[in-house]
Amino acid sequence: GVIDWKRIVTRLKKAGFAGVLSVECGTEDEAVRSLAYMKTVLKEVGA
């Protein structure tokens, strides 16, 4: 499915979450793409 990571990270930030997020990927290429995307999301949200 499609996960709205921007929404999730925004809500976690508002709740004061300071833990670790873990994303499971099937391949190394997926992991590289996911990391790049999550960096963008975290920057946009200011987390």
Is the four-CA dihedral 37, 40, 46, 47 of positive or negative sign? positive
Which pLDDT score, from 0 to 100, does residue 41 have? 94
25, 34 contact by CB (below 8 A):
yes
pTM, rounded to two decimals:
0.79
What's the domain count of the chain? 1
Which pLDDT score, from 0 to 100, does residue 37 have? 94
Tens digits of per-residue pLDDT, 1-47? 689 999 999 999 999 999 998 989 999 999 999 999 999 999 999 98
9, 41 contact by CB (below 8 A):
yes
- Domain holding 16, by residue range, is 5-45
Chain-centre distance of CA 30, in angstroms? 13
20 φ, ψ (degrees, to nearest 5):
-110, 140
